[in-house]
Structure 1
């Protein structure tokens, strides 16, 4: 069960990072932001309304990715400056391997929208979860979904080294589960609706949170972009905060635009967002998040990834990769 997404050969990694830290100048007339389709977030109203473009004074290009590791690679190569709702684990794996990124905010908190679904006919429950040993599980590798899966298996007494994890992005994982190629698949977003047609969660989000398995995505930026254009990063965070506040005050007015940006139908958008939380800047700056909690969690995630054999080693300290200053 080895993770290949970010285990580049040394020369290849060196080449990518050389591009990222060579002092390249970002054109101020365009900023590229990575995001996910079928992952509806409140800020997408501002995306559709082009509020980011107006407030930042630049053209903002939104580029969809399949997983958070792809976002990291695009940022390391200089193609993307900001990642919105990047998975926490891809960020941790990326910076551990030298990717020049900064975590500047919490994009969304969620639990019920990132789950592992067991086929109804598989006969596997929490009580006999060890039956998963020797079987295949479809999941994105090296992201929050993967991390939650490992934590869940450990919580239920399953030896993760005896489970065969198959790398699949959410849409493909849903297909594999429906086709009965695997007894369990893990995913996030709209793919879960299709998966629920043939099965149920191994652990609900509420059960995971009770076991200390928290779930959140982040806002990350490249170090060069944060250093050269802190005003643009700050404006991005301000526009996001306003969109989140507007959604909290009147969610019904947001759903149609969010659905359009996320590529989802209206009801699926509402259902997904009802299980999301969008922390305010004050909350994000608090001790549970960028005031200390995220830094501790980063180290904990890194250690879990090393123990599971999905990362060679963890850094001694990750606090330098977290910058709460843009929340002020």
Structure 2
């Protein structure tokens, strides 16, 4: 597991849209990228608030398009991520809820590492070493995150690999949660909870017609084996 989505993704409402509480979203236009983490979190938030998604107008816009639509005043709210989220907030937008809170309501979203089963079976040592390196990077960030500035070596490397602007990366990193190896191996995450969250996400993707079917059980697709191996190798 790489990260648990936190405040870096949120539902932000435009100043002047007269949205002070969730019920005020009824009849409003909300932008979000379809079939994304944000779309999933938006629908989960509406459900939590008891608002039928048919009572709001959800439009499919990517982050760059959201920034432009926000500037023109043609949308009332957006569920998006940084840096688009930060630009909306800088112009007076107010966050109604973020993905950290939605996760507590039972709809968490993650960034996960996936490996083909046949590759993992053929090269378990490689996968274990990969997990060890990634969990070490998480440990370094948790201990020294303030040093990961736009001028740091770590952020420069992330910028090179991802294409994201170095000036945006520190804010993006700070907006998520990074579970330690021990936390990842817990029953709440790779020990069970992550499989439940994937099942919920799969049902959402099927509703959005992005996948054809939902598996009856996602537990066989999630393992804490390699994280536990990384812990033991320290």
TM-score by length of 2: 0.80
Q: Does 2:188 align with 1:288?
A: yes
1:121 alignment partner, SS class: coil
Give, in whole Å, the separation in 1 of the partners of 2:109 and 2:144.
25
Distance of aligned partners of 1:227 and 1:184 in 2 relative to their CA distance in 1, 3 Å threshold: same
Distance of aligned partners of 1:208 and 1:129 in 2 relative to their CA distance in 1, 3 Å threshold: farther
Extract structure 1 runs of 4+ deviating beyond 4 A. Answer: 304-313
- Residue 208 of structure 1 and its aligned partner are, at CA, apart by 3.0
Contact 1:258 1:269 in 2 (8 A): no
Matched with 1:98 is: none
Contact 1:150 1:160 in 2 (8 A): yes
Matched with 2:18 is: 123
Matched with 1:264 is: 165
- Residue 194 of structure 1 and its aligned partner are, at CA, apart by 1.1
What residue ranges of structure 1 are gaps of 5+ in the alignment?
Answer: 1-105
Where in structure 2 are the equivalents of 1:181-200 lying within 5 Å?
Answer: 181-198=74-91, 199-200=93-94
1:253 equivalent among 143, 147, 170: 147
Where in structure 2 are the equivalents of 1:106-145 lying within 5 Å?
Answer: 106-131=1-26, 133=27, 135-145=28-38
Q: Does 2:39 align with 1:146?
A: yes
Per-residue Cα deviation, 1:204-235 (whole angstroms, up to 9, x for no partner): 45643453443322112233433443333222
Contact 1:129 1:158 in 2 (8 A): no
Of Structure 1 and Structure 2, the greater strand share is in 1
Per-residue Cα deviation, 1:141-181 (whole angstroms, up to 9, x for no partner): 21221110001111222211343433333232222222223
Per-residue Cα deviation, 1:235-257 (whole angstroms, up to 9, x for no partner): 22111111112222222333323
For the aligned residues, what is the CA RMSD?
Answer: 2.6
Per-residue Cα deviation, 1:172-205 (whole angstroms, up to 9, x for no partner): 2222222223211221232211121231122245
2:225 alignment partner, SS class: helix
What residue ranges of structure 2 are gaps of 5+ in the alignment?
Answer: 230-234
Distance of aligned partners of 1:166 and 1:257 in 2 relative to their CA distance in 1, 3 Å threshold: farther
- Residue 107 of structure 1 and its aligned partner are, at CA, apart by 0.7
Contact 1:111 1:208 in 2 (8 A): no
2:187 alignment partner, SS class: coil
Matched with 1:65 is: none
Contact 2:8 2:174 in 1 (8 A): no
Contact 2:148 2:170 in 1 (8 A): no
Where in structure 2 are the equivalents of 1:303-322 lying within 5 Å?
Answer: 303-306=203-206, 313-322=213-222
TM-score by length of 1: 0.59
1:274 equivalent among 174, 177, 187: 174
Of Structure 1 and Structure 2, the greater helix share is in 2
Matched with 1:168 is: 61
